[in-house]
Amino acid sequence: MRNVARTSLVDAAIDELRREIARGVWPVGTKIPSESQLAQSLGMSRLSVREAVRVLAHAGLLHTRQGDGTYVTATDESKVALRRRLDTAAAMDIIDVRRGLDLVAARLAAGRRTEEDLAAMRETLARRDAAGRAGDLDGFADADVEFHVRVADAAHNPLLADLYRSMSDALRDSIRPEQSGLDLDGSHDDLLRAIEDADVTRAVAVSVAILDQQERHL
Q: Render pLDDT for 130-170 as a digit per residue (tens, 0 to 9).
A: 988 888 888 888 899 899 999 999 999 999 998 888 777 66
* Residues 15 and 52: beta-carbon distance below 8 Å: no
- CA 108 vs CA 87, 93, 94, 100, 168: distances in Å: 28, 23, 21, 12, 19
Any domain includes 3: no
Any domain includes 91: yes
- CA 75 vs CA 71, 80, 157: distances in Å: 11, 9, 21
Any domain includes 206: yes
Any domain includes 167: yes
Average of per-residue pLDDT values in the chain:
84
* Residues 179 and 135: beta-carbon distance below 8 Å: yes
Any domain includes 2: no
Q: Residue 183: pLDDT above 60?
A: no
125 and 208: one domain?
Answer: yes
CA–chain centroid gap for 118, Å, is 21
Phi-psi region of 199 (alpha: psi -120 to 50; beta: other; left: phi over 0): beta
Domain count, the chain: 2
Closest CA to 132 of 188, 91, 58, 199: 188
> What residues make up the domain containing 54?
9-75
Give 58's pLDDT tier (boundaries 50, 70, 90).
confident
The larger pLDDT score, comparing residue 2 to residue 136, is at 136
Q: Residue 28: pLDDT above 70?
A: yes
pTM for this entry: 0.61
